[in-house]
Amino acid sequence: MIKINIENYNVFTIFALLALIAGILFYISWGIRFGVWYDPGIYSITIVFVLSGILGILLTLYEKPEGAN
């Protein structure tokens, strides 16, 4: 089972959180500004930011098992 420890946060966790927020804000601001909510180009940019943010947060907060090196 994967253990997440919130005490493991560092500067990389903050960058990942900023990437996640930037992706969500980019999608919302683009939709409000241009009135287009279903554009594949915007999805592709948003997915890069959001997935890198989610994976970055998970990887930085991951707690290694006791027996691992």
- Which residue has better confidence, 38 or 4? 38
Report pLDDT digits (tens) over 16-63. 999 999 999 999 999 999 999 999 999 999 999 999 999 999 999 887
Residue 62 forms beta bridges with which residues? 4
- Domain map of the chain by residue range? 3-63
pLDDT for residue 66: 73
User: Would you say residue 69 has pLDDT above 80?
Assistant: no
What is the band of 3 on the pLDDT scale with cuts at 50, 70, 90? confident
Token pair 């009135």 in the structure block, residue: 35
- Cα dihedral across residues 26, 43, 31, 58: positive or negative: negative
